[in-house]
Amino acid sequence: MAQPRVLVVGGGLAGLAATMRLAELGVNVDLVSLVPVKRSHSVCAQGGINSVNALTRQQGDSEWKHLDDTVYGGDFLQHQPPVKEMADWGPKIIDLMDRLGVPFNRTSEGFRDQRRFGGTLYKRTAFAGATTGQQLLYALDEQVRRWEVEGKVKKWEFWDFLGPVLDEAGRCCGAVCQDLVTMQFKAFAADAVVLATGGNGLIYGRSTMSMVCTGSAVSRAYQAGACYGNGEFIQVHPTAIPGADKLRLMSESARGEGGRVWVPRKPQDQRDPRSIPEAERSYFLEERYPKYGNLVPRDIATREIFDICTTDGLSVEKDRLCVYLDLTHIPKETLDRKLGGILEIYEKFQGVDPRVTPMKIFPAVHYSMGGLWVDYQKSASGGLLEGSLRNQQTSLPGLYAIGECDYQYHGANRLGANSLLSCIFSGLFVAPTLANVCGASAKAAGDHTRLFDAEIRRHEERHRELLARTAGDENPYTLHQELGNLMTRVATVVRRNDQLTHAYDEVCRMAERWKRCAVSDTGNWTNQNVVFTKALGDMFPIAKLILKGALLRDECRGAHFKPAFSMPGLTATDPEGKRSEAEQWCDAFEANTRKWLKSTIATCGPNGDPEISYQDIDTSLIPPRPRLYGLVGGDAIEEAWKDRAAKAAGQAAGKGQPAGAGA
Amino acid sequence: MIKAADSAADLVHGAGGDDHGAARSVVRVRVLRQDVAGGESYWERFEVSYEPNMNVISVLQKIAAQARSQDGRKVAPVAWDCNCLEEVCGSCTMLINGRTRMACSALVDRLQAESGDEIELRPMSKFPVVRDLVVDRRRLFRGLEKVKAWVPVEGSYDLGPGPRISPEEQEDAYPLSECMSCGCCLEACPQYTKVEAVRRDDESEADFEKRRKSAFDTGFVGAHAISQAVLFNAHPTGRMIADERMEALTRQGGIQMCGNAQNCVAVCPKRIPLTRSIARAGRAATVWALKKLFDR
């Protein structure tokens, strides 16, 4: 019998964590990546990684509160058992990364230092300067290199995943990939395949994501039958640096370390920002959200920045929307020690020193909360059953997904510094599952040689067909720009049904136009042109499911904001009127929860058009409650809601107060 | 309270940047191209429209989109490596106006100021060219294997936190740990010379792999790997295999090959104190050699 073998696609944090643990469990790993794994997009993560720690614990923090912040911040759209398991694993994951040599910033006593991130009141975030993702990735890269030397891991860098191979029973038994240098095809036989291929920001043209984040691998799995969850939930990060080729991230840690967002009260005040007196500045986040201040969850900060520029007309510049992110009140020495990496990026690309002059920033597409639908098995304690074959398995048996490319952990909005945790967690956690799959399939494995040959031929055919398209009148790069502009306009911060309907039709037309794309390189050696054209073709099915999901979801939840369906705050000022409005508000909230607290599930139909269905969410640990950050009349609503929750708790005989009522 | 807002999309992320240099309308580039590994190289000129604040990546993106040379011929787009575009992944190293650097942080305005009208792009010269500006940097990662650039932990089970580390130690280690394996230090090093292994017809892939690795190991390991050895030898757990790293650094291709040209530190985009690392490794190598002598 052949040795157990798993194919890991993608070598960012999730893929490397899975690879490391699999090797440790005695499973051989083929690790396929578009780029040398050390250059994966995880390096761009800046701010840090969350977990409960010794200090926050003594301030009343717990794994349960981390779970609560995560699901409240995510507007309750995620199944709670996986999130609970992730929060429970937090402390030991940080300890592990610490042991692997990640140079976390230290306190004067030599313990790990922590800072505060959005959507929480605790300092949960461990960090290594402002390049935490890079440092975590390197630590895992080093361990995987060790296993490579031992012969347990074989890396296939500069290889493109073209699609899973399914046997007669519909089980994934491997994949076909392509060498991006020689353009040769190869089938990888595997007991299980795990996708760890990250987000799909390039569907929006320019974003904070790296150039490999086309979402093509996920799209190919989706087109082969895997379901996609919550596609319409795309995180737009509040603070990025606009650029012609890319929108570079300015980490939330800039605000975590005391950075303040403001605009001049006078529209387009031309004065040097440093000379504008305090009284003539609007620190609008602090004014509107006194409790969280500049550290409200990302969806809210993004909408406020967008709103102050578009509705209130207070953009710092006239021709280009932006607000100030100000660090100049913080000592230079502190800035260099804690934020050096990101300040250098700003300085290098903008030519302005952010230690001296406030930065100009604006929101940008940043993270895909949605992704491949994956399963889990709940444990008796409300978390997950480790090693279950169901954990992280897509709707195609034998095909698994982890990291940003699964839909599981962040609901309608991800909290800052939770992504590094979810990536490493899902990577480590899936390994025993895959090892068990190997054990189970060792008995069942058949000979798939013929199947693989047929699949290779199918992909070769498609490739040849593309290379032969030299006469088309469409340019893949300009078509990509068009797609990006359209998606950015209609499916980011503010969404309207008329625009979404129109955009869907437009994307269908673009998908047709793609068939007329001419390749300008017909060679068979490092042909980046044809690889990009292929990836572009695979963006359309995902763009469609994002638009369709957004169109159908007539509500506001987390990153998905439709003004036509927003629930405004209270207008009454007298206590009685307030109370009665609050009761009505709570009624409407409950009705909306019944209707829309569901995962969006897309399956790929003919022509790459999605079929959308909905799935109930496991909220057994923390009952959903209104997300009230800063809403006018929020106090009254919270009071009314607590009374209801108390009543409901009273009715549930013998049970204690549900944890959901407080915040 | 959030109000409805019009999506003023045209204004969102419009061509960013400051206004200086807006008078220029085109950017001229000459690229040293090569169609296949081992093939002939040749120059080709391109012209793309100028935008304020653009970098070499945007220039190459435009070249890919137009796929035409300056004289209007249809040509294959220039191949190049890139990923993060914010100088943290290490992909896009090339020779820009003769200097090794990252294409993403090379801004056109500054390049034109330093060299006049035309920008010159060449692939790195110390690594085999794959195509155009794409080179094969596997030798660089082999260097990390050679010096065992990792902390030798006993597996990933939960065994509590890592060792306590003072802020001073952390601040010492962190810059070294920012090395993104871009290869600038190797390109600039006079002692680092190109090693190009070609697979023989009668050779299996595994045999070729082996032969290539040993060919890599005969050449100088370079500043980046020496600095990583220093990083891990300073870590409380990492130093438990310090001797193995010293063994690697004193073998063929080791630190003795450094000619102290100090180019590495001058070109490092992350300003890593590479010469300090080399000095530390040099001292440690001397101590280690003496120790080995007396332990015999």
Paired residues of A166 in beta bridges: A172
> Does residue B102 sit in the same domain as residue B143?
no
Strands (E), A167-259: 172-179, 185-189, 192-195, 228-229, 234-241, 248-249
Where does a domain end: A364, A391, A422?
Answer: A364
> Does residue A154 sit in the same domain as residue A32?
yes
CATH of residue B256: 1.10.1060.10
| Tokens of residue A289, six digits | 């959200």
Provide the pLDDT for residue A439: 87
3-state secondary structure A126-159: ECCCCCHHHHHHHHHHHHHHHHHHHCCEEEEECE
> Does residue A99 sit in the same domain as residue A79?
yes
> Does residue B129 sit in the same domain as residue B145?
no
Provide the pLDDT for residue B292: 87
Does a structural domain hold residue B8? no
- Least confident segment among A248-252, A513-517, B60-64, B266-270: A248-252
Work out the average pLDDT over B85-98: 97
Domain holding B48, by residue range, is 26-134
Is A485 in contact with B171 (Cβ distance < 8 A)?
A: no
- Chosen for mutation from A40, A213, A349, A481 (greatest number of chain B CBs closer than 10 Å) is A349
Does a structural domain hold residue A401? yes
pLDDT tens digit string along A41-50?
A: 999 999 899 9
Q: Which is it for strands A125-126 and A49-50: parallel, antiparallel or unpaired?
A: antiparallel
> Does residue A319 sit in the same domain as residue A436?
no
Q: What is the Cα B261 distance to its own chain's centre?
A: 19
Conformation bin of residue A448: beta by default, left when phi > 0, alpha when psi is -120 to 50: alpha
> Does residue B142 sit in the same domain as residue B109?
no
Provide the pLDDT for residue A319: 86
Measured between CB atoms, which of B17, B77, B88 is closest to A528?
A: B77
Provide the pLDDT for residue B53: 86
Does a structural domain hold residue B3? no
Where does a domain end: A364, A394, A423?
Answer: A364
A-chain residue closest to B151, CA distance: A100
B-chain residue closest to A565, CA distance: B4
> Does residue B146 sit in the same domain as residue B289?
yes
> Does residue A253 sit in the same domain as residue A123?
no
* 253-292 in chain B: CB under 8 A from chain A: none
B-chain residue closest to A19, CA distance: B156
Residues A305, A308, A311, CA angle at the centre, nearest 5°? 130
Does a structural domain hold residue B218? yes
**The pLDDT of residue A517 is above 90:** yes
Q: Decide if A306 touches B, using CB distance below 8 A.
A: yes
**Total count of domains within chain A:** 2
pLDDT tens digit string along B238-248?
A: 999 999 999 99
Cα separation, A475 vs B77, whole angstroms: 12
The CB-side HSE value for A571 (13 A sphere, CA atoms) comes to 2
Confidence class for position A652, pLDDT limits 50, 70, 90: confident
CATH of residue A303: 3.90.700.10
* Of A250, A217, A305, nearest in space to A492 by CA: A305
> Does residue B111 sit in the same domain as residue B234?
no
| Min Cα separation B294/chain A (Å) | 31
| Tokens of residue A5, six digits | 């073998």
> Does residue A82 sit in the same domain as residue A134?
yes
Domain holding A307, by residue range, is 238-364
The edge-to-edge listing of strands for the beta sheet with B93-96 is: B41-49, B26-34, B118-122, B93-96, B99-102
Q: Decide if B166 touches A, using CB distance below 8 A.
A: yes
Q: Decide if B74 touches A, using CB distance below 8 A.
A: yes
**The pLDDT of residue B7 is above 60:** no
Could you say which DSSP state residue A317 is in? S
SS3 A200: coil
> Does residue B122 sit in the same domain as residue B183?
no
> Does residue B116 sit in the same domain as residue B224?
no
Residue A310: its chain B contacts at CB < 8 A? 5-8, 11
Q: How many residues does chain A have?
A: 663
Residue A485: its chain B contacts at CB < 8 A? 9
Does a structural domain hold residue B7? no
Where does a domain end: A444, A475, A504?
Answer: A444
Does a structural domain hold residue A24? yes
What sections of A151-266 are H helices per DSSP?
A: 216-223, 253-256
Cα separation, A335 vs A269, whole angstroms: 27
Contact partners, residue A301, CB within 8 Å, separation at least 6: A118, A238, A239, A261, A285, A294
Measured between CB atoms, which of B8, B145, B149 is closest to A310?
A: B8
| Min Cα separation A344/chain B (Å) | 10
Work out the average pLDDT over B185-195: 98
Does a structural domain hold residue B82? yes
| Min Cα separation A467/chain B (Å) | 12
| Tokens of residue A282, six digits | 């609007």
* 171-210 in chain A: CB under 8 A from chain B: 181, 206, 210
Work out the average pLDDT over A62-89: 98
> Does residue B30 sit in the same domain as residue B144?
no
| Min Cα separation A102/chain B (Å) | 8
* Of A18, A1, A24, nearest in space to A441 by CA: A1
Is B77 in contact with A149 (Cβ distance < 8 A)?
A: no
* Of B179, B194, B268, B159, nearest in space to B230 by CA: B179
B-chain residue closest to A299, CA distance: B2
3-state secondary structure A509-573: HHHHHHCCECCCCCCCCCCHHHHHHHHHHHHHHHHHHHHHHHHHCCCCECCECCHHHCCCCCCCC
| Min Cα separation B162/chain A (Å) | 4
Confidence class for position A442, pLDDT limits 50, 70, 90: low
To the nearest whole number, what is the mean pLDDT of chain B? 91
Does a structural domain hold residue A573? no
> Does residue A21 sit in the same domain as residue A116?
yes
Does a structural domain hold residue B77? yes
pLDDT tens digit string along A262-281?
A: 999 999 999 999 999 999 99
Does a structural domain hold residue A262? yes
Does a structural domain hold residue A527? no
Conformation bin of residue B90: beta by default, left when phi > 0, alpha when psi is -120 to 50: left
Is A38 in contact with B90 (Cβ distance < 8 A)?
A: yes
> Does residue B127 sit in the same domain as residue B216?
no
> Does residue A352 sit in the same domain as residue A243?
yes
Provide the pLDDT for residue A499: 97
Does a structural domain hold residue A202? yes
CATH of residue B110: 3.10.20.30
CB burial of A94-127 (b: ≥16 within 10 Å; e: otherwise) equals bbbbbbbbbbbbbeeeeebbbbbbbbbbbbbbbb
Residue B135 backbone dihedrals phi, psi, to 5 degrees: -120, 160
Amino acid at A604: C
> Does residue A419 sit in the same domain as residue A383?
yes
> Does residue A28 sit in the same domain as residue A143?
yes
Q: Decide if A307 touches B, using CB distance below 8 A.
A: yes
Contact A118, A292 (CB under 8 A): yes
Provide the pLDDT for residue A445: 59
Cα separation, A588 vs B182, whole angstroms: 56
% of chain A residues with pLDDT over 70: 97
pLDDT tens digit string along A109-128?
A: 999 999 998 888 999 999 99
> Does residue A67 sit in the same domain as residue A176?
yes
Does a structural domain hold residue B75? yes
Provide the pLDDT for residue B117: 83
> Does residue B147 sit in the same domain as residue B274?
yes
Does a structural domain hold residue B251? yes
Does a structural domain hold residue A283? yes
- Chosen for mutation from A88, A181, A214, A310 (greatest number of chain B CBs closer than 10 Å) is A310
* 176-235 in chain B: CB under 8 A from chain A: 177-178, 180-181, 232, 235
Provide the pLDDT for residue A444: 59
pLDDT tens digit string along B9-37?
A: 333 443 334 444 445 799 999 999 999 99
> Does residue B110 sit in the same domain as residue B170?
no
Q: Decide if B173 touches A, using CB distance below 8 A.
A: yes
Residue B84: its chain A contacts at CB < 8 A? 39, 41, 43-44, 210-211
Provide the pLDDT for residue B16: 39
Does a structural domain hold residue A645? no
> Does residue A313 sit in the same domain as residue A176?
no
Is A569 in contact with B51 (Cβ distance < 8 A)?
A: no
Q: Decide if A400 touches B, using CB distance below 8 A.
A: no
Residues A102, A104, A106, CA angle at the centre, nearest 5°? 145
> Does residue A47 sit in the same domain as residue A129?
yes
**The pLDDT of residue A600 is above 60:** yes
Q: Which positions of A are catalytic?
A: 298
**The pLDDT of residue A533 is above 90:** yes
Amino acid at B167: P
H/E element, B122: strand B118-122
SS3 A427: helix
**The pLDDT of residue B115 is above 60:** yes
**Total count of domains within chain B:** 2
Provide the pLDDT for residue B4: 38
Cα separation, A249 vs A245, whole angstroms: 13
> Does residue B175 sit in the same domain as residue B143?
yes
Is A311 in contact with B4 (Cβ distance < 8 A)?
A: yes
CATH of residue A232: 3.50.50.60
